[in-house]
């Protein structure tokens, strides 16, 4: 069952179309990446899923229902633009959000204390938020999003503004939540995080979906690349779309090969063996999600700042 489903969703602000005929499904369980450059429509789509804004047309289903605050008890949300009440204590802030999501005071307090300890903020429990560093404030906000142990955790650009250590802490937490049964949807334009965490992804560009599927399926959209060293010219081998000559050393020449779509590196190795094509090196190069992103989105995107 899809925990989040967008069906031909359009959102216009005046003349500007922020989200254009967007359809995708997030299956329950696992980690789902919602990828795209700045201005791709990620935040707008997530806001619509949470009923913060309404779509111009199309329909959205979240947890099997229409978007609305009645779903809040099962959702955790960390917005891209983050902030807290400066003159509230760390504990009160997390408990307040827990209460707003329907938790009892005692349950919210118990979970808040657990998360505070988990984030290493114990000594700041009773401190005003205004006394915290930016990184600590962000942890408090993450804790506020997670306090209700949500069935669906939506994180909008969760890693922005965090130092590498805290990025790792958050990555671990996301994995922990997924292992505990939550579905995590996070948007990002930093592909390395998506690469490490996600099972499935959706790629957006200028409000439109350009890809939906697994990481492997995404990579398969790109021509395979590999490097080999041979005595002969590999450009005539079956499945080779292009071969760029490199340096020659004692009769062996280095080549950058791009494969035809649908040709796996293994197919080329098999052809070399059967034709007696002499090789000294054969290095398959797996395209990164970043390469896939550039490949799929590059033409669609005007600017990525």
Partner 1 sequence: MRNILLVAAREYKQIASTRGFWVMLLVLPVVIGISQVAGRFFRPTLESAYVIVDASGDYAPAIERRLEINYQRSELSALSEYVQRWKLGAVKPDALWAKGERWFSDDQVDQFIAEGGIQAAVEIVKPHTPPEAGVYEIDKRNYLKAAVPAGVPTNEGPDALKAGLDPYLQDTIETADGERPLSLAVYIPTDMSETSPVRMWTNSAPNASLVDNVRNEITRVMRAKALEASGLAPETAAAIQNLSPPLSLSAPQQGAGREQVVIRSVLPLAMVYLLLVTVMTTGSMMLQGVIEEKSNKLLESILATVHPAQLMHGKLIGLGAIGLTILGVWVGAAVGAALSVQGVVADIVKPSLAAIEPWMFGAMLFYFVAGYLIISMLYLAIGALSNSLQDAQSYLMPVIMIIMLPVVFMMVSVAQQPNGVFPIVLSWIPLYTPFAMLARMGAGVSMMEVIGTGAMLLVFVIIEMIVLGRLFQASLLRTGQPPKLGGFIAMMFGKNTA
By CB atoms closer than 10 A (0-12, 13-18, 19+), residue 7 is: middle
* 6 bridge partner residues: 24, 60
Minimum CB separation of residue 77 from partner 1 in Å reads 4
Q: Binding segment for partner 1 among 46-54, 217-225, 276-284, 291-299 (CB under 8 A)? A: 46-54
Question: Under rule CB under 8 A, which residues in 140-159 are in contact with partner 1?
Answer: 141, 144-145
Q: Binding segment for partner 1 among 95-103, 171-179, 246-254, 286-294 (CB under 8 A)? A: 95-103
The C-alpha atoms of residue 82 and residue 79 are separated, in whole angstroms, by 6
54 versus 131: smaller Cβ distance to partner 1: 54
The C-alpha atoms of residue 161 and residue 167 are separated, in whole angstroms, by 9
Residue 178 structure tokens: 């997924």
Residue 37 structure tokens: 């450059």
Q: Does 96 bind partner 1 (CB under 8 A)?
A: yes
SS3 at position 141: helix
Which of 52, 175, 279, 304 contacts partner 1 by CB under 8 A? 52
Q: Does 41 bind partner 1 (CB under 8 A)?
A: no
75 versus 194: smaller Cβ distance to partner 1: 75
Which of 87, 106, 133, 216 contacts partner 1 by CB under 8 A? 87
Question: Under rule CB under 8 A, which residues in 54-73 are in contact with partner 1?
Answer: 54, 69, 72
Minimum CB separation of residue 81 from partner 1 in Å reads 4
Alpha carbon separation from 219 to 137, 216, 261 (Å, rounded): 37, 5, 11
Q: Does 85 bind partner 1 (CB under 8 A)?
A: yes
Half-sphere exposure of 108 (CA within 13 A, CB side): 19
Alpha carbon separation from 188 to 34, 62, 198 (Å, rounded): 6, 20, 11
* Residues at the site binding partner 1, with contacts judged by CB under 8 A: 13-14, 47, 50, 52-54, 69, 72, 75, 77-88, 96-97, 99-102, 141, 144-145
């Amino acid at each position: 069952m899809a925990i989040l489903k967008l069906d031909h969703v359009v959102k216009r602000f005046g003349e500007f179309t922020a989200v254009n005929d967007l359809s995708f499904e997030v299956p329950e369980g696992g980690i789902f990446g919602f990828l795209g450059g700045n201005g791709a429509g990620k935040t707008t789509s997530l806001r619509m899923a949470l009923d913060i804004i309404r779509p111009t047309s199309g329909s959205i289903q979240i947890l099997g229902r229409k978007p609305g605050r009645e779903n809040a008890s099962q959702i955790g949300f960390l917005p891209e633009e983050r902030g807290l009440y400066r003159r509230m204590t760390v504990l009160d802030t997390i408990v307040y959000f827990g209460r707003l999501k329907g938790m009892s005071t005692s349950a919210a307090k118990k979970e808040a204390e657990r998360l505070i300890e988990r984030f290493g903020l114990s000594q700041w429990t009773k401190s005003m938020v205004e006394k915290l560093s930016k990184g600590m404030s962000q942890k408090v906000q993450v804790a506020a999003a997670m306090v209700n142990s949500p069935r669906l955790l939506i994180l909008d650009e969760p890693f922005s503004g965090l130092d590498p250590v805290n990025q790792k802490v958050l990555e671990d937490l996301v994995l922990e939540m997924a292992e505990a049964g939550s579905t995590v949807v996070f948007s990002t334009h930093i592909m390395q995080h998506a690469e490490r965490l996600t099972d499935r992804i959706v790629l957006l560009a200028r409000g439109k979906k350009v890809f939906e599927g697994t990481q492997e399926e995404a990579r398969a959209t790109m021509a395979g690349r590999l490097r080999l060293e041979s005595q002969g010219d590999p450009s005539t081998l079956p499945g080779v779309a292009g071969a760029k000559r490199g340096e020659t050393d004692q009769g062996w020449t280095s080549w950058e090969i791009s494969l035809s779509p649908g040709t796996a590196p293994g197919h080329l190795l098999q052809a070399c063996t059967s034709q007696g094509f002499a090789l000294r090196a054969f290095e398959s190069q797996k395209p990164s999600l970043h390469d896939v992103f550039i490949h799929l989105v590059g033409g669609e995107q005007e600017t990525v700042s």
